[in-house]
Structure 1
């Protein structure tokens, strides 16, 4: 006995369970953000109305309430943007000394840091992800990419890409809605460091941080036309990547759209990099540090509501530890807090759009219909907005759709294996090849497994770790080319 009184109405020797810890609301203020009723494209250093006269509405996924009207750019607008980028490339940016170009990138990075709170709140409002993710991951990493590439601007001859590497010209860049600002940084920073100019189209559901970035470019006194932002939906993106004035195309998004872009660009002489979908495997061996692995699995699939192309959406557990691991995993998931993305305590935010929520629901229903066993975290869903609870499927085979198709949501599929050979075979049994994680205490087993995984990124006893100095990209239907690091400069240099 430890001298404490027994729990009321219970056995003196029975363990006492503490009630779950409740967190008081800790909302981030919306005050740093001033939303305009309408936004226009940023072309040749100015915000000017789109020639189409059309607008789309961007909404807050947490409430489904509209945020702003954003112009839809048509053919004439894309023509203007590409022409401005070409003019800036030939008259200002291409022949500017690298050290001078680097100063602009350093300036942009510093302004991102100075306006970090404003950017983080805006990104959370527009995207639905928790404020602690935009504040602690998206914005700092975006600034880091500009800092890193600013350092390369006057050192390109030492990148191992030729003695006198030259820029390729005008870059047409299309980014997705899951990391709007960060994907912008991944593309614009290396393009500008290498001496290229850019025309970028943000996703139609999350254009606001890109338009704020346009303000940052003006604040940094970036020469007009070096960066241009055209807004709109899929047709605007198509007009941009197929434009004959573009020399390089970079796309991050779905595999289906990536295939169409590859067909459109084939034979044109344009350079192309594609970062597409994934179905990442998180392999946990029986000697892994279990609690550490549980945290890594949770981060791997529930970070950003699973809206991550490299998410660890397939958990491969060695049979001998599967039951215990799953018990601990469910306990940990039960502690995740779902709700207001602007609350600093929130772990799981809103699904980005009604269309994405419908896709997640359809694939989860397919998993149940095909016989997999579903477990859902015990959490209440808000009445407004787009929400899906953290979900784990067990009894999954490689024939299930939820094991083969990218769900892009907070849904984890669990498979088991007995031997390392079986783990590798199951991990590689996918049309994708973007990411994987391996959890083991044995260095030899780690290296043996990593060498056999057909994935562009393999994490060792961690997951979803990103750094601007490290290249990122995939194989097979996850695309080709690399972004970040010295390797990521190659596609922007001739």
Structure 2
């Protein structure tokens, strides 16, 4: 793909048509009472659109549409190959609208256009394709039974699935929910974050145009209210959520208070990145450590926000790390050469700056720590690195969701494992070593859903389940395990004689 210029993206942004209404039962509609909220760009703080602020009537309408569509069999009753063909058309349409969707994502979330065009939008299309290709290849079981019986074990779509998704990877994280949910035959009500709703709203029309029937894919933008309403709704069968651990706990409570809907949670992280003294390539490890926390402005649940470095190599490694960190210079996200964009909004900016101030009081600041480019009206923070005297420091324990790295020194493998696992989270981890035994043994002992060895955040294909231990959530996105989440198991026993 040719690398387009800053001027190209600026010109396209100036003429971009932005839809802000909810999408319910196959059409765009205003929220009841015409309620809206302002969608501002973190690039410069300017208004992008007034977006429908969905309330109870809108959520009820979306869920009712989803239920009618499900019960009618217009989607759930299609043969797998028919759903596959429609989903593949939708994925192709996402690719055809790459520039538009990537630009919406960049303007809305502050992500560099180089990332939205190479990772976010193509990743969403790939996710839809992957699950589309899977559904006519997975089957059930013939279970062992007494000879007078035939025992069948089958999977059926669960019904109405609500997907409540975050603002850090708006289109990609949404696809990890709606991709398998739709492939399995469910109807979906998608609630995007109020901080980044625009790609979800646009995707809905593309889904309809591709042949997904009205009512099967609905979008209800808004702040916290529609998410809570979906979690409490008696006619939602399953809710899949990615976001903070605190909100995830509330969603589980709401499910218990209503209809015991299935709840799948992908929550926070404070992931350890362990560099052993026999690290096979310190330059590559330092570059990976910088990318692990500064890519996407640190707004990643898997961010390698705790760097554990062996004392014998600490000084040399930190020099390399700081040099690598300096390449992440905050800039205009519409510039294809920008490696680090804007923090998603002012609320998150102030949250991250608050953690940095706390870090100054309890740790040693090695790099950064300041807001920059304030004259643009946007929200930018430079890469920030703290050396932590003890792992009990606030910046080393709590999820910040910003470009703030805590460096912790260790002396033994056992100490590194203890520090790494001393967290309420367990989403991801990494270890760098030349010793195959250490690599395997440390990987086994790390309490995390994904462990990388001599790399970080690699393996972006859909074959690997994604999710965490402990308070990082339950269930898994991606892979066939995700497809299972959106189905119910049924045992059928047929007596022959």
- List structure 1 runs of 4+ shifted beyond 6 angstroms: 159-162
Q: In 2, are the aligned partners of 1:28 and 1:343 still within 8 Å (CA)? A: no
Q: In 1, are the aligned partners of 2:297 and 2:403 still within 8 Å (CA)? A: yes
Aligned ranges for residues 106-255 of structure 1 at < 5 Å? 106-157=88-139, 163-255=153-245
State the distance in 2 between where 1:319 and 1:70 align: 52
Q: In 2, are the aligned partners of 1:131 and 1:344 still within 8 Å (CA)? A: yes
State the distance in 2 between where 1:158 and 1:121 align: 42
Q: In 1, are the aligned partners of 2:329 and 2:383 still within 8 Å (CA)? A: no
Residue 104 of structure 1: how far off its partner (Å): 1.3
CA offset digits 1:144-168 (Å, max 9, x no partner) = 1011000122223169998421110
- SS of 1:210's partner is helix
Going from structure 1 to structure 2, the CA distance change for 1:367 and 1:188 (only over 3 Å counts) comes to same
CA offset digits 1:22-69 (Å, max 9, x no partner) = xxx845524445544662100011001211311001111010011000
Map of 1:277 onto structure 2 = 268
Q: In 1, are the aligned partners of 2:329 and 2:339 still within 8 Å (CA)? A: yes
TM-score by length of 2: 0.91
Q: In 1, are the aligned partners of 2:181 and 2:188 still within 8 Å (CA)? A: yes
Residue 424 of structure 1: how far off its partner (Å): 0.6
Map of 1:434 onto structure 2 = 427
Larger deviation, residues 88-97 vs 375-384: 375-384
Aligned residue among 246, 255, 273 for 1:265: 255
Residue 336 of structure 1: how far off its partner (Å): 2.5
Map of 1:366 onto structure 2 = 358
State the distance in 1 between where 2:423 and 2:190 align: 31
Aligned residue among 404, 412, 415 for 2:408: 415
CA offset digits 1:157-203 (Å, max 9, x no partner) = 16999842111000011001000000110000100111111001000
Residue 343 of structure 1: how far off its partner (Å): 0.5
Going from structure 1 to structure 2, the CA distance change for 1:401 and 1:106 (only over 3 Å counts) comes to same
Aligned residue among 58, 62, 81 for 1:99: 81
State the distance in 2 between where 1:353 and 1:83 align: 33
State the distance in 2 between where 1:191 and 1:248 align: 10
- SS of 1:486's partner is helix
Aligned ranges for residues 440-459 of structure 1 at < 5 Å? 440-459=433-452
Map of 1:16 onto structure 2 = none
Aligned ranges for residues 249-328 of structure 1 at < 5 Å? 249-266=239-256, 268-288=259-279, 289-328=281-320
Aligned residue among 323, 328, 338 for 1:331: 323
State the distance in 2 between where 1:411 and 1:276 align: 19
Going from structure 1 to structure 2, the CA distance change for 1:299 and 1:324 (only over 3 Å counts) comes to same
- SS of 1:93's partner is coil
Going from structure 1 to structure 2, the CA distance change for 1:148 and 1:240 (only over 3 Å counts) comes to same
Map of 2:481 onto structure 1 = 487
- SS of 2:405's partner is strand
Q: In 2, are the aligned partners of 1:334 and 1:378 still within 8 Å (CA)? A: no
Q: Which 5+ residue runs of structure 1 have no aligned equivalent?
A: 1-24
Q: In 2, are the aligned partners of 1:280 and 1:313 still within 8 Å (CA)? A: yes
Q: In 2, are the aligned partners of 1:27 and 1:344 still within 8 Å (CA)? A: no
Going from structure 1 to structure 2, the CA distance change for 1:399 and 1:126 (only over 3 Å counts) comes to same
Map of 1:342 onto structure 2 = 334
State the distance in 1 between where 2:370 and 2:381 align: 12
The answer as to 2:461 corresponding to 1:471 is: no
Q: How many residues align?
A: 471
CA RMSD after TM alignment? 1.9
Going from structure 1 to structure 2, the CA distance change for 1:489 and 1:38 (only over 3 Å counts) comes to closer
Map of 1:82 onto structure 2 = 63
- SS of 1:132's partner is helix
- SS of 1:58's partner is strand
Residue 264 of structure 1: how far off its partner (Å): 1.0
Map of 2:32 onto structure 1 = 51
Q: Which 5+ residue runs of structure 2 have no aligned equivalent?
A: 144-151, 489-497
Q: In 2, are the aligned partners of 1:396 and 1:403 still within 8 Å (CA)? A: no
Residue 372 of structure 1: how far off its partner (Å): 3.3
Q: In 2, are the aligned partners of 1:336 and 1:347 still within 8 Å (CA)? A: yes
Q: In 2, are the aligned partners of 1:199 and 1:228 still within 8 Å (CA)? A: yes
Residue 335 of structure 1: how far off its partner (Å): 2.6
State the distance in 2 between where 1:378 and 1:355 align: 16
CA offset digits 1:314-357 (Å, max 9, x no partner) = 00001100100001111121232321001011111000010001
Map of 1:397 onto structure 2 = 390
Going from structure 1 to structure 2, the CA distance change for 1:49 and 1:380 (only over 3 Å counts) comes to closer
Q: In 2, are the aligned partners of 1:157 and 1:163 still within 8 Å (CA)? A: no
TM-score by length of 1: 0.92
